[in-house]
Amino acid sequence: MSTLDTLSSIERPSLHEELTDRLRTMIVEGILVAGEKVPERALCEKLGVSRTPMREALKVLAADGLLTLQPNRGARVRAITVEELEEVFPLMGALEALAGELACKNVTDKQLQAVRKSHNAMLACFKSADMPGYFRYNQQIHEAILTAAGNQTLTTTYLSLAVRVRRARYLANMSQQRWQEAVDEHELILKALETRDGKKLSAILKQHLENKFATVRQWIQTQQEEQQQQGKV
Protein backbone atom coordinates (compact mmCIF):
# COMPACT_ATOMS: atom_id res chain seq x y z
CA MET A 1 0.00 0.00 0.00
CA SER A 2 1.30 3.43 -0.95
CA THR A 3 1.96 5.89 1.87
CA LEU A 4 -0.36 8.28 0.02
CA ASP A 5 -3.24 5.90 0.69
CA THR A 6 -3.13 6.82 4.38
CA LEU A 7 -3.68 10.52 3.73
CA SER A 8 -7.08 12.04 4.32
CA SER A 9 -8.49 14.78 2.15
CA ILE A 10 -8.15 18.40 3.21
CA GLU A 11 -11.47 19.65 4.50
CA ARG A 12 -12.50 23.10 3.34
CA PRO A 13 -15.87 24.83 3.36
CA SER A 14 -17.87 24.44 0.17
CA LEU A 15 -18.75 27.43 -1.97
CA HIS A 16 -22.32 27.09 -0.77
CA GLU A 17 -21.32 27.24 2.91
CA GLU A 18 -18.88 30.09 2.42
CA LEU A 19 -21.37 32.14 0.42
CA THR A 20 -24.18 31.51 2.90
CA ASP A 21 -21.94 32.51 5.82
CA ARG A 22 -20.85 35.68 4.00
CA LEU A 23 -24.40 36.75 3.25
CA ARG A 24 -25.54 35.89 6.78
CA THR A 25 -22.81 38.13 8.21
CA MET A 26 -23.83 40.96 5.86
CA ILE A 27 -27.41 40.72 7.14
CA VAL A 28 -26.39 40.46 10.80
CA GLU A 29 -24.11 43.50 10.52
CA GLY A 30 -26.68 45.55 8.61
CA ILE A 31 -24.71 45.74 5.37
CA LEU A 32 -27.82 44.30 3.71
CA VAL A 33 -30.48 46.59 5.13
CA ALA A 34 -33.78 45.39 6.58
CA GLY A 35 -36.71 45.95 4.26
CA GLU A 36 -34.55 46.34 1.16
CA LYS A 37 -34.30 43.97 -1.78
CA VAL A 38 -31.18 41.82 -1.98
CA PRO A 39 -29.16 42.99 -5.04
CA GLU A 40 -28.50 39.50 -6.38
CA ARG A 41 -26.80 40.48 -9.64
CA ALA A 42 -24.48 43.02 -7.99
CA LEU A 43 -23.57 40.53 -5.24
CA CYS A 44 -22.83 37.81 -7.79
CA GLU A 45 -20.45 40.14 -9.61
CA LYS A 46 -18.82 41.40 -6.41
CA LEU A 47 -18.36 37.96 -4.86
CA GLY A 48 -17.50 36.18 -8.11
CA VAL A 49 -20.26 33.58 -8.02
CA SER A 50 -23.03 32.52 -10.40
CA ARG A 51 -26.75 32.95 -9.82
CA THR A 52 -27.31 29.28 -8.90
CA PRO A 53 -25.24 29.17 -5.65
CA MET A 54 -26.50 32.66 -4.80
CA ARG A 55 -30.12 31.55 -4.98
CA GLU A 56 -29.39 28.38 -2.99
CA ALA A 57 -27.77 30.50 -0.27
CA LEU A 58 -30.76 32.85 -0.21
CA LYS A 59 -33.08 29.87 0.31
CA VAL A 60 -31.09 28.83 3.40
CA LEU A 61 -31.21 32.36 4.81
CA ALA A 62 -34.94 32.52 4.18
CA ALA A 63 -35.32 29.29 6.17
CA ASP A 64 -33.31 30.96 8.95
CA GLY A 65 -35.91 33.73 9.03
CA LEU A 66 -33.54 36.42 7.77
CA LEU A 67 -35.05 36.88 4.30
CA THR A 68 -38.41 36.77 2.57
CA LEU A 69 -38.44 35.16 -0.86
CA GLN A 70 -40.90 36.74 -3.27
CA PRO A 71 -41.85 34.76 -6.42
CA ASN A 72 -40.36 36.43 -9.49
CA ARG A 73 -39.32 39.41 -7.37
CA GLY A 74 -36.22 38.14 -5.59
CA ALA A 75 -35.37 38.22 -1.89
CA ARG A 76 -35.91 40.96 0.65
CA VAL A 77 -34.24 41.34 4.07
CA ARG A 78 -36.79 40.82 6.82
CA ALA A 79 -37.28 43.60 9.31
CA ILE A 80 -36.73 42.83 12.98
CA THR A 81 -39.94 43.08 14.99
CA VAL A 82 -40.58 43.15 18.72
CA GLU A 83 -43.28 40.50 18.27
CA GLU A 84 -40.84 38.03 16.69
CA LEU A 85 -38.19 38.60 19.33
CA GLU A 86 -40.73 38.25 22.14
CA GLU A 87 -41.10 34.66 20.92
CA VAL A 88 -37.42 33.97 20.26
CA PHE A 89 -35.70 35.49 23.31
CA PRO A 90 -37.56 33.45 25.99
CA LEU A 91 -36.72 30.26 24.09
CA MET A 92 -33.09 31.30 23.85
CA GLY A 93 -33.08 32.15 27.55
CA ALA A 94 -34.36 28.69 28.45
CA LEU A 95 -31.82 27.01 26.16
CA GLU A 96 -28.92 29.06 27.51
CA ALA A 97 -30.00 28.33 31.08
CA LEU A 98 -30.01 24.59 30.37
CA ALA A 99 -26.67 24.84 28.54
CA GLY A 100 -25.12 26.57 31.55
CA GLU A 101 -26.31 23.90 33.95
CA LEU A 102 -25.05 21.07 31.74
CA ALA A 103 -21.77 22.84 31.00
CA CYS A 104 -20.93 23.05 34.70
CA LYS A 105 -21.28 19.27 34.90
CA ASN A 106 -19.36 18.46 31.73
CA VAL A 107 -16.86 21.23 30.99
CA THR A 108 -13.25 20.10 30.64
CA ASP A 109 -10.21 22.04 31.80
CA LYS A 110 -9.29 22.65 28.16
CA GLN A 111 -12.73 24.03 27.35
CA LEU A 112 -12.64 26.22 30.44
CA GLN A 113 -9.26 27.58 29.40
CA ALA A 114 -10.69 28.46 25.97
CA VAL A 115 -13.57 30.35 27.59
CA ARG A 116 -11.13 32.32 29.76
CA LYS A 117 -9.08 33.20 26.68
CA SER A 118 -12.15 34.45 24.79
CA HIS A 119 -13.30 36.34 27.90
CA ASN A 120 -9.97 38.17 28.22
CA ALA A 121 -10.00 39.02 24.50
CA MET A 122 -13.56 40.33 24.89
CA LEU A 123 -12.47 42.55 27.79
CA ALA A 124 -9.63 43.96 25.67
CA CYS A 125 -12.15 44.85 22.95
CA PHE A 126 -14.40 46.50 25.51
CA LYS A 127 -11.54 48.64 26.84
CA SER A 128 -10.61 49.73 23.31
CA ALA A 129 -14.28 50.35 22.36
CA ASP A 130 -14.06 47.71 19.61
CA MET A 131 -17.70 46.63 19.48
CA PRO A 132 -17.42 44.27 16.45
CA GLY A 133 -14.53 42.49 18.17
CA TYR A 134 -16.44 42.45 21.44
CA PHE A 135 -19.43 40.76 19.80
CA ARG A 136 -17.17 38.23 18.06
CA TYR A 137 -15.58 37.03 21.31
CA ASN A 138 -18.91 37.30 23.13
CA GLN A 139 -20.39 34.87 20.63
CA GLN A 140 -17.41 32.53 21.07
CA ILE A 141 -18.04 32.41 24.82
CA HIS A 142 -21.72 31.53 24.51
CA GLU A 143 -21.02 28.91 21.85
CA ALA A 144 -18.21 27.44 23.96
CA ILE A 145 -20.60 27.02 26.90
CA LEU A 146 -23.05 25.38 24.53
CA THR A 147 -20.35 22.99 23.29
CA ALA A 148 -19.30 22.18 26.86
CA ALA A 149 -22.90 21.23 27.66
CA GLY A 150 -22.40 18.22 25.39
CA ASN A 151 -25.97 17.97 24.11
CA GLN A 152 -26.25 17.94 20.31
CA THR A 153 -30.02 18.39 20.23
CA LEU A 154 -29.68 21.46 22.43
CA THR A 155 -26.92 22.81 20.19
CA THR A 156 -28.91 22.33 16.99
CA THR A 157 -32.01 24.00 18.42
CA TYR A 158 -30.01 26.88 19.85
CA LEU A 159 -28.09 27.61 16.66
CA SER A 160 -31.28 27.61 14.59
CA LEU A 161 -32.50 30.60 16.63
CA ALA A 162 -29.23 32.29 17.52
CA VAL A 163 -28.72 34.13 14.24
CA ARG A 164 -31.90 36.15 14.74
CA VAL A 165 -30.87 37.17 18.24
CA ARG A 166 -27.33 37.96 17.09
CA ARG A 167 -28.62 40.21 14.32
CA ALA A 168 -30.87 42.17 16.68
CA ARG A 169 -28.16 42.47 19.30
CA TYR A 170 -25.58 43.62 16.76
CA LEU A 171 -27.78 46.37 15.32
CA ALA A 172 -29.16 47.68 18.61
CA ASN A 173 -27.20 50.57 20.07
CA MET A 174 -25.92 49.80 23.58
CA SER A 175 -25.35 52.68 25.96
CA GLN A 176 -21.99 52.76 27.70
CA GLN A 177 -23.76 51.91 30.94
CA ARG A 178 -25.44 48.83 29.44
CA TRP A 179 -22.19 47.75 27.83
CA GLN A 180 -20.45 47.91 31.22
CA GLU A 181 -23.31 45.96 32.79
CA ALA A 182 -23.01 43.27 30.09
CA VAL A 183 -19.28 42.96 30.80
CA ASP A 184 -19.98 42.67 34.54
CA GLU A 185 -22.50 39.91 33.79
CA HIS A 186 -19.87 38.06 31.79
CA GLU A 187 -17.50 38.23 34.77
CA LEU A 188 -20.20 36.46 36.80
CA ILE A 189 -20.72 33.93 33.99
CA LEU A 190 -17.03 33.03 33.98
CA LYS A 191 -16.86 32.76 37.77
CA ALA A 192 -19.91 30.47 37.93
CA LEU A 193 -18.48 28.25 35.19
CA GLU A 194 -15.09 28.08 36.91
CA THR A 195 -16.71 27.05 40.20
CA ARG A 196 -19.03 24.70 38.28
CA ASP A 197 -22.10 26.18 39.96
CA GLY A 198 -24.76 25.03 37.51
CA LYS A 199 -27.80 26.61 39.15
CA LYS A 200 -26.08 29.96 39.48
CA LEU A 201 -24.77 29.96 35.91
CA SER A 202 -28.21 28.96 34.63
CA ALA A 203 -29.83 31.92 36.40
CA ILE A 204 -27.13 34.38 35.28
CA LEU A 205 -27.36 33.36 31.62
CA LYS A 206 -31.15 33.66 31.61
CA GLN A 207 -31.05 37.11 33.20
CA HIS A 208 -28.22 38.14 30.86
CA LEU A 209 -30.40 37.39 27.85
CA GLU A 210 -33.41 39.16 29.36
CA ASN A 211 -31.26 42.26 29.79
CA LYS A 212 -30.15 42.01 26.16
CA PHE A 213 -33.76 41.81 25.05
CA ALA A 214 -34.65 44.95 27.00
CA THR A 215 -31.92 46.83 25.10
CA VAL A 216 -33.02 45.46 21.73
CA ARG A 217 -36.70 46.13 22.37
CA GLN A 218 -35.99 49.74 23.30
CA TRP A 219 -33.92 50.18 20.13
CA ILE A 220 -36.64 48.73 17.87
CA GLN A 221 -39.33 50.87 19.46
CA THR A 222 -37.16 53.98 19.01
CA GLN A 223 -36.60 53.08 15.34
CA GLN A 224 -40.32 52.63 14.80
CA GLU A 225 -41.12 55.97 16.44
CA GLU A 226 -38.55 57.74 14.27
CA GLN A 227 -40.00 56.16 11.12
CA GLN A 228 -43.50 57.24 12.14
CA GLN A 229 -42.31 60.78 12.72
CA GLN A 230 -40.59 60.84 9.32
CA GLY A 231 -43.82 59.63 7.73
CA LYS A 232 -45.71 62.55 9.23
CA VAL A 233 -43.26 65.11 7.86
pLDDT at residue 132 in the model: 86
Contact yes or no for 167/27 (Cβ under 8 A): yes
Residues sharing a CB contact under 8 Å with residue 49, sequence separation 6 or more, in sequence order: 15, 19, 43
pLDDT at residue 9 in the model: 47
Distance separating alpha carbons of residues 200 and 96, to the nearest angstrom: 12
pLDDT at residue 28 in the model: 85
**Is domain 15-77 annotated with CATH 1.20.1250.20?**
no
pLDDT at residue 4 in the model: 53
Assign a CATH topology to domain 82-225: Four Helix Bundle (Hemerythrin (Met), subunit A) (1.20.120)
Strands of 53-92 (E only): list them: 67-70, 74-77
pLDDT at residue 13 in the model: 59
Residues sharing a CB contact under 8 Å with residue 4, sequence separation 6 or more, in sequence order: none
Chain region(s) in the chain for CATH 1.10.10.10: 15-77
pLDDT tens per residue, the chain (233 residues)? 544 555 444 345 588 889 999 999 889 888 898 889 999 999 999 999 999 999 999 999 998 889 999 888 889 999 888 888 899 999 999 999 999 999 999 999 999 999 999 999 999 999 999 988 999 999 999 999 999 999 999 999 998 888 888 887 777 767 889 999 999 999 999 999 999 999 999 999 999 999 998 888 888 888 777 777 776 54
